[in-house]
A = this chain, B = another copy of it.
Amino acid sequence: MRNGRTIRFRSPVLIEATAATGGVKECEGPLGKYFDYCLKDDLLGQKSHELAEIKMHIGTIKRLLNKTKLKISDIDFCFAGDLMDEIEGASLTMRDFDVGFFGLYNACSTFAEALILGATMLDAGHASRVICSTSSHFCTAERQYRFPLEYGSQRPPLAQWTVTGSGATMLNKRFGKVAVVSATVGRVVDYGVTDTNDMGAAMAPAARDTLLNHLANTDSRPEDYDLIATGDLGEAGSHLMRLLMREEGIELGERYVDCGALIFNRVAQDVGQGGSGAACSATVFNGYLHRKMTEGMYRRVLLIPTGALLSKTSALQGESIPGIAHAVCFERVE
């Protein structure tokens, strides 16, 4: 069923298992102990950071399969993406798996896009089990969107730190303690921000747009959720999100967090405004939030991964940075 941009899944779509891999810095952060695997070296013994990110993504999917004692032949389709040009990371990751592949790109909101399309595939009855996964890597993102690390560029104050990590979710219709119950599909929102070092400001209006749409379509209020978590607005961006929602008469209060703020000790780890990247919400959800839901700490969580739809070319040509945000509502199955 659908109301506006909000989908309510007809029968329960359940999370059978999750897997999260964190980089060295991510594992030193507050959520390090929740990740299934911590990299000892962000290069993973590869000759490039691009190959390292791919090896990490492959490893995350393999661990997800190992945890469930399943083989890739038990999976119908994979929905995956990442931040590298032409989603090279997900595309080359999928060389290692004999499975139908849907390549996705909505920047750092891609994990939510994968969950929505994976859950829809199950809801339509065209699959019995799917994997939704994303990855990002600090070094591949810096080189691609900003400068190679070797330049030693200074980081401006509003910059965020791309998460090195990968998260994967296995969805099915039979097993699991947490259900994907509804989702609101994001639209492209552009407030004219052109500073590629201020992603939070570019994405916050999209997060507001999607949250307002979700609350209206589901006739719910923030108090109806135990946690509302945006993907990677960072400290400044999530402050902006609170202000934007306040303008609408809605106080988000303490139930609102940002995955980019959760994953690092912002000041101690010197990560600017906090974490970002396609793996930010994916590692925080698959490593931390899903576990806290199964343990009963949270019953109902609204995850809103946020994406900044820029490319190096569009930025250099002076285009503004549109944002997008998809919301996914999870509920603990009693």
Contact = CB atoms under 8 A, between A and B. Distances in A.
Interface of A: 1-2, 5, 7, 10, 48, 50-51, 76-77, 81, 83-88, 91-92, 94-95, 97-107, 110, 113, 116-117, 120-121, 123-128, 144, 185-188, 190, 309-314, 317, 319, 322, 324
Contact of A113 (B103, B121, B190): B103
A127 B3 CA distance: 9
Nearest to A319: B92
Given A48-B317, A94-B188, 8 more contacts: A1-B126, A5-B77, A50-B313, A50-B314, A92-B309, A102-B106, A104-B105, A123-B124
A51 B100 CA distance: 33
A309 B121 contact: no
B86 A105 contact: yes
9 contacts: A2-B76, A77-B185, A85-B312, A88-B309, A88-B310, A98-B187, A101-B186, A117-B120, A144-B313
Contacts of A98: 187
A184 to B, nearest CB: 8
A187 B106 contact: no
A101 B2 contact: no
B126 A105 contact: no
* Interface hub of A81, A103, A190 (most chain B Cβ within 10 A): A103
Contacts of A309: 86, 88, 91-92, 103
Q: What is the copy number of this chain in the assembly?
A: 2
B101 A324 contact: yes
A100 B50 contact: no
Contact of A81 (B84, B105, B317): B105
A97 B100 CA distance: 30
Given A113-B102, A324-B101, A107 B86 contact: yes
B126 A92 contact: no
Given A2-B76, A105-B87, A309-B88, A188 B95 contact: yes
A134 to B, nearest CB: 13
Nearest to A77: B185
B102 A117 contact: yes
Nearest to A113: B102
Nearest to A7: B126
A1 B91 CA distance: 26
A309 B92 CA distance: 8
* Interface hub of A7, A84, A106, A124 (most chain B Cβ within 10 A): A124
A61 to B, nearest CB: 13
A313 B125 contact: no
A91 B88 CA distance: 18
Contact of A190 (B84, B95, B120, B187): B95
A50 B104 contact: no
B1 A125 contact: yes
A322 B93 CA distance: 11
Contact of A185 (B102, B125, B144): B102
A97 B188 CA distance: 8
